[in-house]
């Protein structure tokens, strides 16, 4: 019986930035009120995990990273009603409390319960559920999935259907809704439109798939790693650009290719310069630019406001604007019923102990998504 007891299990601990993760035995406390302890089955490695490890995103260390997980509920704390032991679940980096202003309002999804913009690395009661070698270990965005067991808030976990393949739908915790929602909810890409996608990694590839599904007739893909191009073309990119090989700024090339600039531009890298390039790539009268990349902590986005004046729109969203607990399980069902396909996003699979190899694949640009199985 594990319920009510501390669980000892393996986890990948990031003791400091810019060091390999260390597979350690950790103690995972039982869930407190409103919390759920989950046995992780599979977890994707996201660009944000790598940014955090590289110290570009401020969050407390030592930390257990990972926020793209699928698992099975092991036990629940007092008051938990929406999931029970044995349920297959996804856990999300953005909660949905169903009580705050934003959760009750039909539009938007940015729940007030957890401030993911300035992470504490702790549960909402200000304490941690992880210990390793006698030291407190922090969590990431209330999730932490690079561990055999984790504790999450009930407001950040949702039951998914039993038929869902966990080692695939885990990427529906972040990459898939982020990319799909950027297109379907935030930009609302229209049939026959032109699009540009900056960054052809996990998020960018999901954006490309959704642009194609929306009927975009031209999808320009921008990346400095040309190894990303063949797969991007297979997903729907019609033209590939490597900014390092162009004679002029990439937004000027996009403008020439399309006459006036694209209808919809997406940034899925997380750099200020590519955010500005994406904005300038969309047509000046009604172009919409959606920034999905997360810039380093403390950076400032600056551009001449005259870029916006003629009518451009600059937008962003977290998790694609989906209300996590309400909407994402429906995406899982769509996948199980073969209404959407996310398989091409997963290019590599590794057993959990090889997690550092997964990070290396991501850093070297060899993978779109690498999924770890526990």
What lies within 8 Å, CB to CB, of 314 at 6+ separation is: 279, 289, 291, 308
Residue 179 binding partner per list Zn ion, ligand APR, none, with a CB distance cut-off of 5 to 8 Å that depends on partner kind: none
Strand partners, 88: 72
Residue 225 binding partner per list ligand APR, Zn ion, none, with a CB distance cut-off of 5 to 8 Å that depends on partner kind: ligand APR
Please identify, using beta-carbon distances, which residue of 262 and 268 lies nearer to ligand APR.
268
Residue 228 binding partner per list ligand APR, Zn ion, none, with a CB distance cut-off of 5 to 8 Å that depends on partner kind: ligand APR
Residue 224 Cβ vs ligand APR, minimum distance, rounded to whole Å = 4
Q: Which residue is nearest to ligand APR (CB)?
A: 201
Please identify, using beta-carbon distances, which residue of 13 and 111 lies nearer to Zn ion.
111
HSE-CB for 326 with a 13 A CA cutoff: 14
Residue 111 binding partner per list ligand APR, Zn ion, none, with a CB distance cut-off of 5 to 8 Å that depends on partner kind: Zn ion
Please identify, using beta-carbon distances, which residue of 141 and 232 lies nearer to Zn ion.
141
**Contact residues: ligand APR, CB under 6 A:** 46-48, 51, 198-204, 222-225, 228, 243, 268-271, 274, 292-294, 362, 365
Would you tell me the crossing angle of helices 250-258 and 272-281 to the nearest 10 degrees?
A: 20
Tokens of 243: 């900014």
Q: Does 368 bind Zn ion (CB under 5 A)?
A: no
Please identify, using beta-carbon distances, which residue of 130 and 198 lies nearer to ligand APR.
198
92-131 residues near Zn ion, rule: CB under 5 A: 97, 100, 103, 111
Q: Which residue is nearest to Zn ion (CB)?
A: 111
Q: Which stretch binds Zn ion (CB under 5 A): 90-98, 189-197, 235-243, 309-317?
A: 90-98
Residue 342 Cβ vs ligand APR, minimum distance, rounded to whole Å = 14
Please identify, using beta-carbon distances, which residue of 103 and 282 lies nearer to Zn ion.
103
Contacts 24+ apart (CB under 8 A), 101-105: 103/323
What residues make contact with Zn ion under the rule CB under 5 A? Answer: 97, 100, 103, 111
């Amino acid at each position: 019986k594990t319920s009510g007891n501390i669980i000892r299990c393996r986890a990948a601990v990031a003791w400091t930035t810019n060091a390999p993760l260390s597979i350690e035995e950790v103690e995972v406390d039982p869930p407190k009120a409103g919390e759920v302890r989950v046995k992780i089955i599979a977890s994707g490695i996201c660009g944000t995990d790598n940014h955090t490890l590289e110290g570009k995103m401020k969050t407390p260390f030592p930390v257990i990273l990972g926020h793209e997980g699928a698992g099975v509920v092991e036990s629940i704390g007092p008051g938990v009603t929406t999931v029970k032991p044995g349920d297959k679940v996804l856990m999300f980096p953005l909660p949905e409390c169903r009580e705050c202003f934003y959760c009750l309002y039909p539009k938007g999804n940015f729940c007030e319960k957890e401030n993911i913009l300035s992470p504490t690395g702790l549960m909402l009661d200000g304490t941690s559920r992880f210990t390793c070698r006698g030291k407190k270990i922090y969590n990431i965005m209330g999730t932490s999935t690079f561990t055999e067991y984790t504790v999450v808030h009930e407001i950040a976990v949702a039951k998914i259907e039993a038929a869902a393949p966990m080692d695939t739908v885990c990427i529906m915790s972040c990459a898939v809704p982020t990319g799909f929602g950027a297109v379907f909810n935030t930009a609302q890409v229209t049939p026959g439109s032109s699009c540009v996608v900056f960054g052809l990694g996990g998020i960018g590839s999901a954006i490309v798939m959704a642009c194609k599904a929306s009927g975009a007739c031209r999808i320009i893909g921008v990346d400095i790693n040309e190894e990303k191009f063949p797969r991007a073309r297979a997903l729907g990119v019609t033209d590939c650009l490597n900014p390092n090989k162009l004679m002029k700024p990439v937004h000027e090339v996009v403008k020439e290719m399309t006459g006036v600039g694209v209808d919809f531009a997406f940034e899925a890298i997380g750099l200020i310069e590519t955010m500005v390039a994406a904005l300038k790539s969309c047509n000046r009268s009604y172009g919409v630019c959606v920034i999905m990349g997360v810039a380093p902590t403390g950076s400032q986005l600056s551009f001449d406001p005259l870029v916006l004046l003629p009518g451009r729109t600059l937008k962003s969203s977290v998790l694609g604007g989906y209300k996590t607990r309400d909407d994402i399980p429906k995406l899982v069902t769509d996948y199980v019923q073969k209404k959407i396909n996310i398989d091409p996003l997963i290019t590599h699979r590794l057993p959990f102990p090889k997690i550092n190899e997964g990070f290396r694949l991501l850093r070297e640009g060899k993978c779109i998504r690498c999924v770890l199985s526990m």
